[in-house]
């Protein structure tokens, strides 16, 4: 009789043999990160993008279909997966916080790069890659460090024979200059062909914003190709474990800054010579924290005592749930928590009196879709699904059946047939909040907010957008 345990052991055996061999050979490790990169890639089924470089890595390695970042905004998310510990545990959950107060991580929490350096790896946040292709060097941590996070800016600065751990942070497809540069490409996306989710109105400005995002994804893929060529040029491609992922979800309305899937769902491609099977697809739930855990595993570093990531390849207990958290973003104060399994997601809005459209300077200046929705709402031209975004209050709880409702627009809270699911997920979420010591339970003072985010001193009230 084949038990679940024996079946899992049999499945894991070749992976573990490859792992042992990789440790012996001291493979390099490279993280390639897209800023605000969602799974809008060809290998994930998007028919409008042109991402041959990401698609090729997916064909050579494994593609994870259900990877989620712990936060829907860069600084909180990066503070988590660069340490392997939830940002809510380390007190780094508020966006762009602790920039002026000298805040340090708990003593048992350390950067992955520091642990890798101690294990003998040269660490780098790569800048120059090729002519016209440069990494941003972004870290964006919500804590202060006594020592530099990385030793250098390129793998070629390491000692002869020394393995490296490096990150390459690309600004694309983040809004800003990369969107303008993306519009100069020969291959552009036809706005009339984009698929709009039901919560967006069909409007030219909305279609254009979505199309421009996809064009910025195409630009990111070109930069990814330059990295692969540089690795091949230096004879490192088959000696390097490559992780490709986004720091959080796509920078479109109801995506970044929110706990709906578009805000936290990111691509994850892993090419691990000798371990990953070419063209493999994994549908299990994983967290970006697991990238940190797997990186330490490659280096043979024991799992730290306080650590929330788990190996992508050798963990005997696949995740049943992933947890995500949103807190203050710039001047916009909110606290939201979510738990998700394969079928359902439960969201807890701790501040339901604050609407989805409370003022956020970044969104008000950079999201044309929200401007359009406000105008159409004032004219009574949004349908009921679209109008939900303009409500003056959020529900305290949101429960979605992701199989029936992948866009998360039909809240099942209060329906008797979903009462048991709500009760179970609520218990799981509340247990996670307690067990991980969620620091979001302690609100920032207004003085702290204004010190960290000076624009908060002159922000409009919470009901204005």
Q: To 5 degrees, how large is the angle CA 181–CA 194–CA 366? A: 50
Whether residue 228 contacts residue 253, with contact meaning beta carbons closer than 8 Å, is answered with: no
Domain boundaries, the chain: 4-319, 336-458
Say what the pTM is: 0.94
Give CA–CA dist 267/269, Å, rounded: 7
Q: How many angstroms from the chain centroid is the CA of residue 19?
A: 26
pLDDT of residue 15: 47
Q: H/E element holding 372?
A: helix 368-378
> How would residue 7 be classed by pLDDT, with cut points 50, 70 and 90?
very low
4-319 and 336-458: same fold? no
Closest CA to 356 of 255, 211, 206: 255
Task: Determine contact, residues 172/202, Cβ cutoff 8 Å.
Answer: no
How many whole angstroms separate alpha carbon 403 and alpha carbon 314? Answer: 28
Q: At the top level of CATH, which class does the domain 4-319 belong to?
A: alpha beta
State how beta strands 265-271 and 133-134 pair: unpaired
Both ends of the chain: CA-CA distance in Å?
Answer: 61
pLDDT tens for 289-344 read 999 999 999 999 999 999 999 999 999 999 999 999 999 999 999 999 999 999 99
Residues 6+ apart with CB under 8 A from 352: 393, 394, 395, 396
Tens of pLDDT, residue by residue over 114-168, are: 999 999 999 999 999 999 999 999 999 999 999 999 999 999 999 999 999 999 9
Q: What is the CATH number of domain 336-458?
A: 3.30.1120
pLDDT digits (tens, 9 = 90+) for 48-67: 999 999 999 999 999 999 99
Across residues 93-107, what is the average pLDDT?
Answer: 95
For residue 2, pLDDT over 50 is answered with no
């Amino acid at each position: 009789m084949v038990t679940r345990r024996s079946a899992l052991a049999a499945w894991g055996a070749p992976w573990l043999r490859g792992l042992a061999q990789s440790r012996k050979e001291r493979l390099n490790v490279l993280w390639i990160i897209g800023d605000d990169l969602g799974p809008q890639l060809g290998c994930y089924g998007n028919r409008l993008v042109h991402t041959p470089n990401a698609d090729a890595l997916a064909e050579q390695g494994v593609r994870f279909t259900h990877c989620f970042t712990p936060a829907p905004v860069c600084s909180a998310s990066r503070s988590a997966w660069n340490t392997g510990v939830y940002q809510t545990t380390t007190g780094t959950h508020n966006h762009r916080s602790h920039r002026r107060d000298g805040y340090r991580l708990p003593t048992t929490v350390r950067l992955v790069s520091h642990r890798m350096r101690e294990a003998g790896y040269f660490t780098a946040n790569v800048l120059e890659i090729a002519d016209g292709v440069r990494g941003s060097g972004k870290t964006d941590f919500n804590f202060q460090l006594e020592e530099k996070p990385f030793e250098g800016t390129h793998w070629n600065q390491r000692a002869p024979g020394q393995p490296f751990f490096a990150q390459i942070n690309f600004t694309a497809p983040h809004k800003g200059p990369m969107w303008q540069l993306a519009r100069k490409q020969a291959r552009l996306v036809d706005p009339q062909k984009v698929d709009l989710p039901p919560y967006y109105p069909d409007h030219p400005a909305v279609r254009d914003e979505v199309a421009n995002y996809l064009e910025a994804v195409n630009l990111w893929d070109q930069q990814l190709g330059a990295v692969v060529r540089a690795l091949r040029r230096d004879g490192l491609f088959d000696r390097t474990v490559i992780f490709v992922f986004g720091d959080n979800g796509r920078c479109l309305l109801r995506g970044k800054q929110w706990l709906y899937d578009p805000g936290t769902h990111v691509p994850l491609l892993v090419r691990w010579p000798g371990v990953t099977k070419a063209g493999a697809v994994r549908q299990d739930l994983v967290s970006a924290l697991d990238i940190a855990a797997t990186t330490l595993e490659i280096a043979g570093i024991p799992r730290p005592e306080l650590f929330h990531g788990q190996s992508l390849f050798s963990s005997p207990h696949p995740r049943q749930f992933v947890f995500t958290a949103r807190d203050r973003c710039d001047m916009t104060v909110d606290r939201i928590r979510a738990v998700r399994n394969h079928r359902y997601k439960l969201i807890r809005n701790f501040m339901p009196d604050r609407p989805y459209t409370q003022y956020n300077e970044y969104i008000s200046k950079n999201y044309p879709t929200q401007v359009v929705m406000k105008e159409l709402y004032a004219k009574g031209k949004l349908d009921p699904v679209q109008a939900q975004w303009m409500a003056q209050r959020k529900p305290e709880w949101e429960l979605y059946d992701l199989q029936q409702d992948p866009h998360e627009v039909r809240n099942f809270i209060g329906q008797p047939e979903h009462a048991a699911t709500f009760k179970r997920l609520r218990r799981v979420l509340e247990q996670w909040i307690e067990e991980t010591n969620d620091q979001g339970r302690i609100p920032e003072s207004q003085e702290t907010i204004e010190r960290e985010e000076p624009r908060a001193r002159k922000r409009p009230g919470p009901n204005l957008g």
